Amino acid sequence: MFIVHDYYVAVLFCVITMLCWGSWANTQKLANKTWRFELFYWDYVIGILLFSVISAFTLGSIGTEGRSFTQDLAQADASNIWSALIGGVVFNAANILLSAAIAIAGMSVAFPVGVGIALVLGVIINYINTPVGNSTLLFAGVGLIVIAIIINAWAYKLKSGGEKGKASGKGVAISVIAGILMAFFYRFIAASMDMENFVSPEVGKMTPYTAVFIFSVGIFLSNLLFNTILIKKPIEGEPTSYSTYFSGKFSTHLTGILGGMIWGLGNSLNLIAAGKAGPAISYGLGQGATLIAALWGVFIWKEFKNSPVNVNGKLAAMFVLFVVGLWLIIVAGE
């Protein structure tokens, strides 16, 4: 299988993860013009599972190092398989809520609040379990990102008002719940792998490619329950149906599948990089997706258009703090 041995290649993979995790929601925005997010989300999940299979039989099965995907899956302990499956269930619950928050409050709010909280808690959880990197620099970077999140919420409060403000408040609340849940999913996947040795992993543990596949199966299976409930009883709007989903255009379904494959690419690269950079740094950099999503929301989707003048300064401060915080996280792993 393909394994990363250089720290800066691992950082590059995490930066690509950041771009992927911060950009997949654009496909939801595109599909959202005519397509409910609950219906979009099924295609998104299919895309994640599809990419995990492609990754497993390509990068996960070539080269002379480590175990190939089929060999690795055959020897995996049930406890590690369950750990990766649970990670998929936890992620799916969090991501469904995040998708709902995007539909209500927009990318420039749902991502910085939800994924920002996930970044902070996730780094702490993963560092406690696998303490790799300079803790002072790592948590200084996380601290700056916390300030950036607070500034973003402040800017959005200034932008919103009246009934729209009540709706956006609901979106922020859902983002917070999503962020807390999302902080825990990565730990379950990491626990199923031998993070210290991808070349000769411990017997019973899985390689990143196998863990990603099992994780994706967990997402798919839990979606049968979670998303079916949302289709019948949505967080916002009228109920929809599976008949509506199957009557959707091919291009609409393809948009959601593309979104899932983009997220899946980022997830695979992040876990491959974690073997060299460590779970806390790899996860923290990947969740810098908050910055990418905020950039999309502000400059492409114009989610802060016609806001008071003083909002622009706060958004600028948020971006600067995010960049400096992410830089400190990178340096922490050197």
Check residue 163 and give its pLDDT.
Answer: 43
Torsion of CA 38, 41, 45, 50, to 10 degrees: 130
* CA nearest to 329, candidates 195, 64, 146: 146
Check residue 129 and give its pLDDT.
Answer: 85
| Number of alpha helices (DSSP H) and beta strands (DSSP E) in the chain | 15, 0
Check residue 108 and give its pLDDT.
Answer: 66
Let me know if residue 2 belongs to a domain: no
The DSSP letter of residue 1 is -
Could you tell me the two tokens for 19? Answer: 């771009």
Check residue 168 and give its pLDDT.
Answer: 63
What does the alpha-carbon distance between residue 318 and residue 155 come to, in Å, rounded to a whole number?
9
Mean pLDDT to the nearest integer, 142-165: 71
Residue 101 has pLDDT above 90, yes or no: no
Cβ-Cβ contacts under 8 Å for 174 (sequence gap 6 or more): 97, 98, 100, 101, 104, 110, 114, 235
Cβ-Cβ contacts under 8 Å for 224 (sequence gap 6 or more): none
Mean pLDDT of the chain: 87
Tens of pLDDT along 156-188? 667 665 444 555 678 888 889 999 998 999 999
Q: How confident is the model at residue 271 (pLDDT cuts 50, 70, 90)?
A: very high
Let me know if residue 276 belongs to a domain: yes
Check residue 160 and give its pLDDT.
Answer: 61
Let me know if residue 1 belongs to a domain: no
Mean pLDDT to the nearest integer, 236-260: 92
Query: pTM for this one?
Result: 0.86
Residue 1 has pLDDT above 70, yes or no: yes
Cβ-Cβ contacts under 8 Å for 165 (sequence gap 6 or more): 157
Let me know if residue 202 belongs to a domain: yes
DSSP string computed for 90-140: HHHHHHHHHHHHHHHH-HHHHIIIIIHHHHHHHHHHHHHHS--S-HHHHHH
Let me know if residue 32 belongs to a domain: yes
Q: How confident is the model at residue 260 (pLDDT cuts 50, 70, 90)?
A: very high
Q: How confident is the model at residue 90 (pLDDT cuts 50, 70, 90)?
A: very high
Let me know if residue 93 belongs to a domain: yes
Bigger pLDDT: 334 vs 311 = 311
Longest dimension (CA), the chain: 62
Which domain does 177 fall in, by range? 7-332
Q: How confident is the model at residue 53 (pLDDT cuts 50, 70, 90)?
A: very high
Mean pLDDT to the nearest integer, 58-69: 91
First-last CA distance in the chain: 25
Check residue 74 and give its pLDDT.
Answer: 96
Tens of pLDDT along 276-322? 998 888 988 887 777 787 788 777 777 677 776 678 788 888 889 98
- Percent of the chain with pLDDT strictly greater than 70: 94
What does the alpha-carbon distance between residue 168 and residue 162 come to, in Å, rounded to a whole number?
10
Check residue 262 and give its pLDDT.
Answer: 96
Check residue 107 and give its pLDDT.
Answer: 65
Answer yes or no: are the C-beta atoms of 68 and 253 closer than 8 Å: no
CA 183-189-6 angle, to 5 degrees, is: 100
**3 state DSSP class of 193:** strand
Burial of residue 233 (number of CB atoms within 10 Å: 0-12, 13-18, 19+): exposed
**What's the total number of domains in the chain?**
1
What does the alpha-carbon distance between residue 161 and residue 121 come to, in Å, rounded to a whole number?
30
